[in-house]
Chains A and B, each alone.
Chain A
Amino acid sequence: MFKHYFKTAWRNLKANKFYTTLNISGLAVGLATGIMLLLWVENQFSYDKFNMKYKNIYQLNTVIHADKDQAWNMTPGGLAAFGKNIPDVNSSVRIKDRNDQIIARYDRKKMLDGNYVGFVENTFLKIFDYKLIRGDKNNFLPDVSSAALTETLAKKLFGSDDVLGKTFNYFGEIYKVTAVLQDFPKNSSLQYDALFPMQSFINWVAKNYTNGNTRFLDEDFEQIQYKTFFLLNKNANAISAANTLQKEFKKRNNDAPFSFHLQNIATLHLTDTDGNTSRLRMVNVMLAVAFLLLAIAGINYINLSTARSLTRIKEVSVRKIIGANKRQLFFQFITETVIIFIAALFFGCVIISLLSPLYNSITGTELSDSLFQYSFLSKATAALLITLIGTAVYPALLLSSFKPLESLKGNIKGIKANVFRKILVVLQFSVSFILLVSTVVMSKQMHYIRTKDTGYDKSYVMAFPLTNNILPNLKSFEEELQKNMSVINAGVSDAFTLTSVDNGLDNVEWQGKSVNDKTFFNNISADKHFIETIKFQFIDGHNFSGTQADSTSFILNETAVKQMHLRKPYSGQNIKYRGTQGTIIGVLKDFNYKSLTQSIGPMIINNFGIQNIMYVRTTAAHAKDAIAYSEKTYKKYSRNAPFSYSFLDKNFEEQYKTDAQINQLFNVFAGVAIFISCLGLFGLATYTAQVKTKEIGIRKVLGASVGSIVQLISKGFLKLIVIAIIIATPLAYWAMNKWLGNFAYKITIGAFTFVIAAFVVIVIAFGTIGFKALKAARANPVKSLKTE
């Protein structure tokens, strides 16, 4: 029997090449994009779950209660020590991060920069499951000068991963490799190139900072600078553990407006420290989009099969009359669907392999990494089966349930009444329209962000970190840079990048400050030239002078003076910052020093502390020379340390990479959705033209114009598309407003966006139908009547 099903199905598909091609291509494109999207979603949900104990690993976050609460993924060092007294806590680990670090071979034959470094406690590998290639897990980082390198860094530095016992230089200290780690998995929230023992960090700070700040780790309840992870016991209650930590903290430091909460490690990737789940929502949206794309492709199949069922009535009736029962017919049609799906899946896989470079570049993940993993395969298979069942059952049921006699007599109300098909077309185009509007809104928002006035001039400014060797000669280094023709200005600060200044939050004292005032200030330490280089704009006062007086001078931003309730003139008013009594000398127009998803907070710029990031402004014409000159000067002062730089505008773009990726993904999906929907529409239009061949012929004989016949065929479809647009407009508006809610600075969605999207959808749809309609309208009526 199966052989018969297969044979009949195969011949039917072969006999109707046009519809078979249409069906397979729609499904193949739908399946390919659906599967790729599911892969991406799967990847997003897989973060940190390679840790066997991930369900019990929590990161401790600090919430600073100021005017506006701020959540940090770091804590003071002392919190971890409380864990020892909490029965639910199994163990803890503290990590001090350092980005963009230079590591050099002891013989200085090789220096590598841009390394992510972590100072960790020796419980690190007991809590996390990062794999060791060499070394002893139970004796990880045994002493203060031991270090663990990743395989990649070891190979880059020494040319091999067999490097146990080799020595290298980092931040003026010599370390010996005692372990080699497998590279951190891409789906790990923690990413390091090298790990050092925490004690070595403590020693380093004690050596370099002589301002008496020697309270470290267990005794430190002020500086929020350590990542703290707890491994809780099975079935432990994270909320009560956090409460206990909070109580213990209050005993030591009752005044600090801090509270703490535990966040499970598996949620780190998609949920922000402050509980913002916009990324999680976006991933869920993508999941929904994946299913919608599959649904659109499925709808095509349903529509084409049911529309074409009219032409198969005779066959079904004959089969029934000569003895086929409903079940047998049902399985015959299911077999056809299965064949189409298998073909579509095959071509879908071809499309996936062709598109994988594009996928990798858009998502920043490796497609091949997740393609053959069980968890993915099971989900993809489930998705495929759901689509298959959802798609196959209805047409098969419809076809197999014809009453033979009524069908032969042409009494086929059930099929002719194509309300269901119309609903499906409306559904398809609603989804397509929503995706299209989303694409337009996202593109506009991305454009808005790129071109928004951030309060400073970010074009042609490069930044590079300075080594310890340069810092003692900073002034002459800076002057030497400024001398060159290609350099417009050069200044130094401690901000790694201006797109997310993250130097911690500080307290400032001023006259008239209320007791309850909880304003916390972001801060930058900078010199006079930095302010000039970046082209900050003063609304009051002036810049640093470049003299000794700068050590007691402060520059604030507009938001700061507003929140402090200061009165004009601001300049000359006294404030106290980090123990230094000083004067406000200027106020800057607000500038965005964090992501545009956040509003601007108070900022204080001072001139003391280490300033180790050089900013150089050049011009388009001289950028190349400026880079070359900066590198030459840098190497001279740093004794040939590796030079790496980044441009401010590039960093700025980098910050919205995820949003830009999502935008790109939506471009693709909107395109795919419209393509598949139009394939379906094309099929339905072709079918309509076919069944109306006789009507068209008669009308033409009676004198109908080509235009009126095109209208006859297209009108019904265009009406459905307009209905779809009307239904989808409020949905798209709601969804996009929700998305824009993630940004503190955003566009407003105007009616024009919808008009443009509607215009595009209608034009494409009309193009699709019109092509077929025109062909039908131009056909020779004599021929069409004869055919009938």
Chain B
Amino acid sequence: MIKITNLEKIYRTDLVETVALNKMSFDVRKGEFVAIMGPSGCGKSTLLNILGLLDDCNGGSFLFDGIEVAKFNEQKRADLRKKNIGFVFQSFNLIDELTTYENVELPLIYNNVKAADRKVLVEEALDKMQIMHRRNHYPQQLSGGQQQRVAVARAVVNNPKLILADEPTGNLDSHNGNEVMDMLTTLNGQGTTIIMVTHSEHDAQYAHRIIRMLDGEKVTENILRELDYVHN
């Protein structure tokens, strides 16, 4: 589903040039759950941003579903992102002025989904994340775990092919963290490809494969378990 080859990202200021990704290559198959690990500043987040089409790269190739997207302009990237990718952040990034229901509904509104269809999809997502009973609450009225469940619901409501999770349990206690990880695993089991950046060895164990990075490069790759089947 994803194939990156010799991907490069360099940050330049007047005085310093920092190589964030140094000719990085790997691929991710459809339905796979990949964890990316490494110390702070190793380029994990940069990689995730490029994979999420939030950032561009300076060199190399990035095939998304067989399409070369490395040279896409912002508009094209945004279109592709909107339809195919869901995001889960460490700090949840829910919109404070919107209720649980409305936060989850938002991607559908921006995708011009009809109101009647939206209702079905949002309720389905809330149900799946077991947060339906909090549908009319605002983020401030939810616990961290609940907020992250809302964020996951929002990420999946559009039925994306890929979910990118940036330290999804970083702000949660272990109980809530486990719950979120279970949910991601369930989603993965239902066919959604997941790439997760994490510091937690515990969380990484949920993945099929762990890619370890250092100084912008891939250093090791461990396969924890094989994919049960390849999604078409």
Contacts and interface: CB of A to CB of B under 8 A. Distances in A.
Interface of A: 1, 4, 7-8, 11-12, 15, 314-315, 317-325, 328, 404-405
A324 B98 contact: no
B87 to A, nearest CB: 5
A536 B101 CA distance: 89
B200 interface: no
19 contacts: A8-B95, A8-B98, A11-B97, A11-B98, A15-B96, A315-B97, A319-B95, A321-B52, A321-B54, A321-B81, A322-B86, A322-B87, A322-B110, A323-B81, A323-B110, A323-B158, A324-B106, A325-B110, A405-B55
Interface string B53-84: 01100000000000000000000001001100
B95 A315 contact: yes
Q: Which 7 A-B pairs have the closest CB atoms?
A: A323-B82, A323-B110, A11-B97, A405-B54, A322-B107, A318-B93, A324-B110
A321 B87 CA distance: 8
Residue picked from A8, A318, A328, most chain B C-beta under 10 Å: A318
Nearest to A320: B78
Contacts of B78: 320, 323, 325
B137 to A, nearest CB: 14
B97 A12 contact: yes
A7 to B, nearest CB: 8
Nearest to A405: B54
Contacts of A8: 95, 97-98
Contacts of B109: 1, 4
Contacts of A324: 106, 110
B55 A322 contact: no
B97 A15 contact: yes
A323 B93 contact: no
Interface residues of B, number: 24
Residue picked from B52, B86, B106, most chain A C-beta under 10 Å: B106
A315 B154 CA distance: 15
A324 B112 CA distance: 10
A319 B93 CA distance: 10
A678 to B, nearest CB: 29
B111 interface: yes
A325 B98 CA distance: 18
Contacts of B154: 322
Contacts of A4: 102, 106, 109
A405 B78 CA distance: 12
B111 A323 contact: yes
A479 B5 CA distance: 119
Given A7-B102, A323-B78, 11 more contacts: A4-B109, A11-B97, A15-B96, A319-B106, A320-B78, A321-B81, A322-B82, A323-B158, A325-B110, A328-B110, A405-B54
B49 interface: yes
Contacts of B110: 319, 322-325, 328
A98 B95 CA distance: 76
A273 to B, nearest CB: 64
A787 to B, nearest CB: 15
A328 B109 CA distance: 10
A4 B118 CA distance: 13
A393 B158 CA distance: 31
Nearest to B97: A11
Contacts of A318: 93-95
A11 B95 CA distance: 11
A541 B98 CA distance: 93
B20 to A, nearest CB: 12
A634 to B, nearest CB: 77
B82 A314 contact: no
B97 A322 contact: no
A404 B54 contact: yes
A324 B98 CA distance: 15
Nearest to B112: A1
A555 to B, nearest CB: 84
A325 B154 CA distance: 17
B141 to A, nearest CB: 14
Interface string B98-119: 1000100011011110000000
Nearest to A404: B54
A4 B115 CA distance: 11
Contacts of A320: 78
A315 B92 CA distance: 12
Contacts of A314: 93
A542 B78 CA distance: 98
Nearest to B105: A4
Nearest to A15: B97
A319 B154 CA distance: 11
Contact of B49 (A1, A315, A405): A405
A676 to B, nearest CB: 28
Contacts of B107: 322-323
Contacts of B95: 8, 315, 318-319
Contacts of B94: 318
A508 to B, nearest CB: 85
B191 to A, nearest CB: 21
Interface string B105-139: 01101111000000000000000000000000000
Residue picked from A8, A315, A321, most chain B C-beta under 10 Å: A321
Nearest to B110: A323
Contacts of B97: 8, 11-12, 15, 315
A11 B96 CA distance: 9
Nearest to B87: A321
A405 to B, nearest CB: 5
Contacts of A325: 78, 110
B213 to A, nearest CB: 19
Contacts of B112: 1
Contacts of B106: 4, 319, 322-324
Nearest to B82: A323
B119 to A, nearest CB: 13
Contacts of A319: 95, 106, 110
Residue picked from B55, B78, B96, B110, most chain A C-beta under 10 Å: B110
Residue picked from A322, A328, A405, most chain B C-beta under 10 Å: A322
